[in-house]
Each structure stands twice: as structure tokens, then as C-alpha cells.
Chain A
Amino acid sequence: MKLNNKILISNVLLSFFMLIVTGFGMYYVVNSTIYDELDFHLMQHKTDIQKQLSEQPESLDEIQRLGGLGSYEWVEISPFPNNTSSIKNTFTTIDTVRYAEVSQLPEAYRKLTTTLTVNNEPFVLEIYEEVAAWEKISMTILLSVLAALFIWVILLYVVNQYVFGRILSPFYSTVDRLEQISSPTQVGEPFPEANTYEIKVLNGALNNMLGQIKSSFEDQKKFIQNASHELLTPLSIIRQKAEKILSDPENLERKDIERVHEIQQTAVRLTRLSNALLLISRVENKQFSLDDDIHISGIVEKALNELHDFIDLKKLKIHFDKREEIGLSGNRELVHSAVYNIIQNAIKFSPDGGNILIFMGRDPSNASVLSVRDEGPGIPDHLIDEVFNRFKKGHKMNDSGNSPGLGLSIVQSVCELHGFRCTASNNEGKGVTFSIHF
């Protein structure tokens, strides 16, 4: 979730909380104030009635008439029931109908029940005061407060969106650019100087670090280029000298010949190693363009053609199952070398007269796949996941002078560059299947 959305959500939640608390609080406070006021009013009324009744009325009717004088309230006076003892002032809220002919709907009334003494005789006095009008006022207050708060929430949202957008825009432009950068070659312009302290610190740190990464990346590229030259030229000399000795072996001891031969072989091995490392680092540094149109069947056929000597000599049977052509854009040389390495690997580990099945089509997840299946010894299960890793050999961990396991590393780095996936799995019977999922 984006930072400004998080801030926004927390603000909105806080506002809603405030809205609810204030709403209920207001309602409670207003209501209790109203009831206090009503009760006070009712008590005053009682005092008024008591005063009015000091004129010594004769009958109950007279008392009721006098009690109701000059009052809009609903007053009822009744004789004090004998079986009850004197009652105190009691306030209740009831829903009742006053004038059945006007409205059948019960309305809320605040009722004071108390005793009244006229001519030393007790009467029950009930005074009703209408609450509905007051409740309407309290509802109105409540609603207007809620409306105000609601408007505030909306305002908060809008202001948040706009103001945060404004304030955070340099931050987001930094984030956007970081999202675009996937390799040090894409660093480009330095991040701009911002006037917000945090963003200034952030951009400054990014500029500093990315600058360092970029320059060390460039140094690395130069280093690779130079290292290859610096290594290959002396290797060239070693080979030249060794071959010179070997080209005239008559006056050499057999042991010396073998030694020189080993020197030569080691130089060749070292050459392969540095060439392979050079290729891998160039691939990993994305120093290749990826815009050739490639048809995988053509690549496979070319590789098979280049390897036909080995296929013939080992009497291998190649079955190329072309289910569906795979066309893609990438670097032709690199894809070729990946395919070539996989096929060469299969040839290398196949027994004489074995079968190699090359399948081009779709895998179970419907992605294009090229797989090469051999009948070789397979790879121990604990090594199969590491088979593409640099400097791990699936088969022999000895110093036979075989390729240093870089062939499959080349395959992997080429796949990574192109966004392919390469997998290895042991077959149920024997041998291994290497696959490239495009």
C-alpha cells in the first residue's frame, strides 16, 4: 500500500472514531441537560400550583380548575389514595396520547408525580411536560454536528489526497524512478535536490550510493575487458612456447613431452575458463542486445550440425520432436550457446549408441519449452538443484581436466538475461532432462 494511502486511511479512521464519540457524547449531554431543565421547570410549576391553591378551593373540581389555570401543561390532580403513604417528587418519562382526537401517536412526556396539600388534605399531582419538542432540538443539534463532522471527513480525504500528493510528490518521483532501475546501467540522471529534509536525505543517499554502484559497475566492465586481454595474451605466449617445444619432440625425453603437453592442456583449460567467465560476466552485465528474431528449431539444427561429429562417433540416435516452433526475440549467439551447451552436455554423458530426445513444444503449464533428454548416468538427487551453479560438477568432482562445469552456468545466465527458466530433472529410467522454458 502506498504511504499516502496509509496516512489517509489512518486519518479517516480517526475522524470516524471522533465522529461517533462526539455524536453519542453530544446526544447524551444535550439530553441530560434537557431533562434537568424540564425537571426544574416541573418543580417550579408545582410551586405555582401550590400558590394558586392557597385560595382555599372547595371541591376537587375547583382544585383541578385552579391547578390548571394559566398553564399550557397537562396537569392532573386526583385525591390521594388512602392506602399509600406520602410520595416524594418522582420524575418519569412516558410515552402517551394526550388528545386522542388529534393524534393516536403516543408522544414522549416528562411526568412529575408529587403530593399536594390543599386544606390539609393530600392530593396527587401529576404534571406532564412535552419532551418531543426538546428532543427535536437535540436531534437537530446532533444531526448538524454529525453533518459537520462528516463534511470534515470528506474534506480531510480531499485535502489529504491533494496536499500529501503535493508534499510527497518528490518522494514518489524518487520511488517511481527506483522502480524503473533494474541494473546500474539505468541509473541515469542524479535524483533532484528536494526541499523536504527527509527526501533530501533520501535522494542524497541514493545519489551517493547509486553513483558508487554505477562507477564500480563501469570499473568492473573495464576490468573484465582488461582482465580477459591481460590473461589471454600471456596464455597465448604459454601455448605458443609449449607448442614450439612439442613441434620438435625428437630430442626430448618422453616424460618431458608429457609435461609440456600438460602445460599446454592446462593453458587451454585456463583459456576456456576465462572465456566462459568472460562470457558469463558479460551476460550478467547485460552487455548484449536482445533484438534478434530467433527460431529455436534453426538454433537446434545448427547446434546438432556443429556437433554431428560427436553424435556420429558415439553412434547416438537423435530424435528431434518438433511439436511447435518457438519464435522469440533475444540474442542469437547467446541462445545458440545455451542450446549448444545443453545438447553438448547430453552428448557428453550419453553412453555409446544411446538415444537423445529433443522436444520442442509446450510444457504442462502451456509455456514454450525446449527439453533435451539423455540416457546418461543422471545426476545424484542432492546435486540436481545445484547443477546450474557455477563450479559444481554434476558428475565427477575430480580433476579430470573436464570443463569446469561452466557450460551449464552459461545456460543459466543466458536464461536469466532473457527471462527464461532452466530446469534439470532425473528421468524415471535413466539419464537427465534439461529444459529451457521460454
Chain B
Amino acid sequence: MRALIVEDELLLNEELEEQLLDEQFTVDTAFNFMDARELLSGEIYDIVLLDLTLPDGDGLDLLKMIKKSGHHEMDTAVIILTARGAIEDRVEGLELGSDDYLSKPFAMPELRARIHAVLRRKFKISDNEITIGKLTVNLDHLQVSFNHRPVDVTDTEYKMLRYLFLNKNRTITRIALAEHIWGNKIDDRFSLDFINSHMKNIRKKLAESGAPDLIETVYGVGYKVKAYETQ
């Protein structure tokens, strides 16, 4: 999988590159409009992380270029990363064919989850599942099962589980979880308590269905799903 990161901020670009390398992507980086245009005209990428505000041009123009060149059978997925929180920008970006939109600052696990979702859509993978210790979470539908027996969870609980499973073996902060579920409109202190209560419910439901306690609480930080043998 080839990825291109278009981001003018050096530190952020590096961070994104590291994350994508972790995910086994082959990564190119561009720090400005001109470089990005050059790379895009020569290479075919599976995914482009695109910052809209570049020192020498508008990222939306790059988006138009990507979508126009349309390497037909293999369309490039684009996730816009921007600090321009304006609604109009978001709408315009999505209208121009971007696959997703993340407002800065975002949590890395969120980006990871979005990349997974975008790529699953791109490669038309449905009914994709992650199973850890016999506990299976469907990535596309509200479906959780343990040992092939369904576990009844609410929408929010499912979202939390899926997020943790997608980011297995990584500690997910409660803030990142709250933002994943409720977006960034919710007051943080307000919502963190709710993450705790939801987590309590999840543990209870998993215990009732006989699943082992896969979710580890990382004191003062958040949660982590440990998967020793990954599928």
C-alpha cells in the first residue's frame, strides 16, 4: 500500500509518516503544494493524507487534481486533514470527492480508524472482523460475538469496542475515545465520566457472556486491548 502525506508542518508530517510506516505502508511525504503535485502526477497512491492549507497553494486544488486524473480502477482515497474547521470547507472537500475529513488536532487512533474504514470501502471489503481471544468485533456492522455467540451491546459500546480493537495493543486515551464517539463538541470532563460508565457496562456484558477481561485499564490514561497472538 502506498501512501502520500501532504503536510507542511515538519513535526506533524514526521509523526504521520511514522504512524503509517507502523501500519506497513510505503510512505512518501510532501511539504508543499509543488512537491505534492509532482509526486501525484508521477505516482499512484492508495491513500493520500492531505492538508488543505499549504504555503504555496490550496489543498483543495490537489484534491481536484487527484480526482480528475482518476486512475480509474484504482481510485486514490483521500483523507483531508485541516485546521480550517469551517463547515463550508468540509462540505466542499467531501463534494470534491475526498473520502473523509479530519479536523486538526486529531488523535492518531482516530486517523488509524478512519484510514481502515476508507481502505475497507475502497477495496470493498465487507464483513471484516477482528477477533481477539475468541471475542469477535465486526468492523462494519453492529456485531460482537464471543465464541460465535452474539454479545448484545449498544451502539456506543460497539463503537468503543471497535475502536479499541482497531487500535489493539495500543493505549487509547479516554479523550480519544470520547472524541471518536461524540465528536469534538462535547466538554471533555463531562464526557470522560461517561466513558468510564460505558466501559463498566462493556466489562459487565463481556463477563456475562463468559469472555475474559481483554480490556486493560491504563491508570490515568485510558484503555488497551491486548492481543498476544494477532490473527
| Contact residues in A for B128 (Cβ distance below 8 Å) | none
> Does B219 contact A344, Cβ atoms closer than 8 Å?
no
Known pairs A243-B176, A271-B184, A401-B189; A229 contacts B83 (CB<8 A): yes
A186 at the interface (CB under 8 A from B): no
Contact in complex: B84, A261 (CB < 8 Å): no
Query: Which one of A240, A267, A407 lies within 8 Å of B108 (CB-CB)?
Result: A240
CB contacts under 8 Å to B, within A210-231, are 225, 228-229, 231
Question: When the two chains form their complex, are residues A236 and B175 in contact, meaning their CB atoms are under 8 A apart?
Answer: no
Task: Give me the 5 closest cross-chain CB pairs, A-B, nearest first.
Answer: A236-B105, A232-B83, A229-B83, A403-B187, A236-B104
Interface residue count on the A side (C-beta < 8 Å): 49
Render B202-231 as a binary contact track against A, CB cut-off 8 A, 1 for contact. 000000000000000011111000000000
Q: Is there an interface contact between B108 and A244, defined as CB atoms closer than 8 Å?
A: yes
> Is A246 close to B, CB under 8 A?
yes
- From A270, which residue of chain B is reached at the shortest CB distance? B105
Closest-CB distance, A191 to chain B (whole angstroms):
32
> Is A265 located at the chain interface by the 8 A CB criterion?
yes
Interchain CB contact under 8 A, A240 and B188: no
The reply to whether B173 and A261 contact each other, CB–CB distance below 8 Å, is yes
A222 to chain B, nearest CB (A): 12
Q: Which one of B9-17, B38-46, B116-124 is at the interface?
A: B9-17
B185 contacts A340, CB within 8 Å? yes
Query: How many whole Å from B30's CB to the nearest CB in chain A?
Result: 16
Contacts from B to A (Cβ < 8 Å): 9, 11-12, 15, 53, 83-87, 103-109, 156, 170-173, 175-176, 179, 181-182, 184-191, 194, 197-198, 218-222
The distance in angstroms between the C-alpha atoms of A306 and B156, with both chains bound, is 11
State A224–B42 Cα separation when bound (angstroms).
Answer: 36
Interface string of A270-307 (1 = CB under 8 A from B): 01100100110010000000000000000000000010
Residues of chain A from 245 to 260 with CB closer than 8 A to chain B in the complex: 246-249, 254, 257-258
A246 touching B173, Cβ below 8 Å = yes
Taking the nearest CB of chain A, how far is it from the CB of B153, in angstroms?
Answer: 13
- Count of A-B contacts with CB under 8 A? 123
Among A243, A254, A272, find the residue whose CB has the most chain B CB atoms closer than 10 A.
Answer: A243
Q: B83: nearest residue on chain A (CB-CB)?
A: A232
Q: A residues 111-165 with Cβ under 8 Å of B?
A: none
Partner of B12, one of A237, A264, A340, A407: A237
**Complex-state Cα separation, A329 to B84, whole angstroms:** 26
> A418 within 8 Å of B by Cβ?
no
Contact of A237 with B15 in the complex, beta carbons under 8 Å: yes
CA distance A254 to B220 in the complex (A): 8
**Measured CA separation A340–B187 after assembly (Å):** 12
In the complex, which residues of chain B have a beta carbon less than 8 angstroms from the beta carbon of A333? 87
Give the nearest-CB partner of B197 in chain A: A313
Residue contact A237 to B220, C-beta cutoff 8 Å = no
Closest A residue to B18 by beta carbon equals: A244
Instruction: Find out whether the CB atom of B219 lies under 8 angstroms from the CB atom of A235.
Output: no
Given A261-B173, A340-B185, A402-B190: A236 and B12 interface contact (C-beta under 8 Å): yes
Q: Are B188 and A228 within 8 A (Cβ)?
A: no
Known: A236-B12, A236-B105, A244-B108. A249 touches B189 (CB 8 A): no
Tell me, yes or no, whether A233 is within 8 Å of chain B by CB.
yes
CA–CA, A342 to B184, complex, Å? 16
Looking at the complex, which one of A232, A234, A246 makes contact with B171 (CB distance below 8 Å)? A246
Residue of A nearest to B185 (CB): A340
- Give the docked Cα–Cα distance between A248 and B9 (Å): 24
CA of A73 to CA of B122, assembled, Å: 130
Taking a contact as CB atoms closer than 8 A, the residue among A241, A264, A278 that contacts B85 in the complex is A278
